[in-house]
Structure 1
Amino acid sequence: MSITFPRPMPEAGAAREVFELRRRDFLSPETGGRVGSIAVGPPVWTAEWSLGQGGPRRADEWVAFVDSLDGSSRLFVGRDLSRPYPLAYQDTQLGGLTRAAGGAFNGAASAWSIDTDAAGAPILVLAGLPANFKLSRRDYVGFRWTTEGVERRALVRLVDDYTGTGEGYALLPIRPAVPSVVPPTAVAHFDLPGCLMRLIPERTTIGAKDRRLAPAVTVAAVQELLP
């Protein structure tokens, strides 16, 4: 059986998780007391997962996953395992919902665009959602598309609670802004949102086995933005 990439990551077993943005900013203090901020690149998602007491079979899954990535050579789809669906729909996994305009909701918006608020902060505009679709701060919106037949992913996160309109529209305050590599044809979705990531080999470790013969596993990764 051949393994395809980007590879999905294991869905369970992590006892500790870090999934946060890393910004590439520098402060530029001025003699008058003002402090400027200079961004030298887009923010990217970084992650670290540490295995819990799942036993040797769960550890086998994570070790095999790490082995298959050949260090940092292979891409995988990294996710915040604590938020596979919007908070309000974690139990139902978005099942049983219908679009406000009619038809079953498959977890994806029918259309999206980018706007900004009065302060210039990014706003993601979505259409084709269920009526009064409820979203919470720290929910994610994923983007998926293909480039020459190869899967691509990107990810943004809500910074405030929001309830969509009865007509299925939403204007979401997000961070980061939708990356420039995301094409207009990408699908914006709420089911298992993730981004392309590579392992950080020096921080990814397979440690000693415990009495159950389950090794300690820590997996660290950083996002890669690809068109």
Structure 2
Amino acid sequence: MAITFPRPMLPYGLNVQSFELDRIDYLSPTVGAGIGAVSAGSPLWSASWSLAGMRENEMEEWRAWLTSLRGPQRSFFGGDQRRRVPRAYRTTGLPSGFNGDATAWSLNNDRDVLTISLPNGFALLTGDYVGFRWGTHGRTKVRLLEARVGTAAVAVEPPLPTLVPGNAIAYVKDPVCVMKLTPDTDFGSIGVDGQMAGRIVAIQDLRS
């Protein structure tokens, strides 16, 4: 079977992770001693995952997965492995009959306050994610800065990029973004117990 890209991540072997926004910001002091600031480009999701405790077959699957990406040349779908569903549903799963897709969504003019239509009473907590998908490969996500129940609008970061079309689907199950490996990725050390360890480091590839 042909491999297509972006590839999904494998569902095992991941241990410690970091999933945060990477910003390029510059301070702009003023004559009156105030401090202004400006960002260079859109914030991007930056992530790292450690790999440990895998059996040989699992190690070889991860080795093949990483090799197929050809370093930073090819992309994959990366996400926060601790928030594959909203935090309130981590143990129970999503409500019966709900696949995670919103029926509608809208933004304020600054694109950093989100209103989203989900099942009645559905809870989103601080730190949860809403993903957006469009076309074949378009994927990005935002993080909630406050809790929400019902139809209340909530602040999110980063502001949703303007490249996301208005007909994109907002969703809360397995939200991901398109990412590429960085040279900090290191995989292949094998312990005396035969277990392989390594680290995957990636940055978002934000494109339509």
Corresponding position of 1:125: 115
- Give the counterpart of 1:196 among 172, 178, 193: 178
Measured in 2, the distance between the counterparts of 1:219 and 1:64 equals 13
Instruction: For 1:76-225, list aligned pairs within 5 A.
Output: 76-96=76-96, 104-115=97-108, 122-127=112-117, 129-146=118-135, 150-164=136-150, 169-200=151-182, 202-225=183-206
TM-score of the superposed pair, with normalisation by structure 1: 0.86
| Cα distance change, pair 223–138 in 1 and its aligned pair in 2 (3 A) | same
Corresponding position of 1:27: 27
Measured in 1, the distance between the counterparts of 2:115 and 2:153 equals 5
1:221 CA drift (Å): 0.5
Measured in 2, the distance between the counterparts of 1:154 and 1:70 equals 22
Unaligned 5+ runs, structure 1? 97-103
1:133-176 Cα offsets, whole Å, 9 max, x none, are 11111100001111xxx321011000111211xxxx34121101
Measured in 1, the distance between the counterparts of 2:95 and 2:68 equals 32
Measured in 2, the distance between the counterparts of 1:53 and 1:79 equals 21
Runs of 4+, deviation exceeding 3 Å: none
Measured in 1, the distance between the counterparts of 2:62 and 2:19 equals 17
CA contact (8 A) 2:111 2:160 kept: no
1:76-99 Cα offsets, whole Å, 9 max, x none, are 100000110000111233141xxx
RMSD of aligned residue pairs (Cα, Å): 1.6
Paired letter, 1:125: T
Task: State the secondary structure of the residue aligned to 2:61.
Answer: helix
Identity over aligned residues, as a percent?
Answer: 40
| Cα distance change, pair 106–121 in 1 and its aligned pair in 2 (3 A) | closer
Measured in 1, the distance between the counterparts of 2:167 and 2:111 equals 23
CA contact (8 A) 2:113 2:153 kept: yes
CA contact (8 A) 2:9 2:77 kept: yes
Corresponding position of 2:53: 53
CA contact (8 A) 2:52 2:196 kept: no
TM-score of the superposed pair, with normalisation by structure 2: 0.94
Unaligned 5+ runs, structure 2? none
1:121 CA drift (Å): 7.4
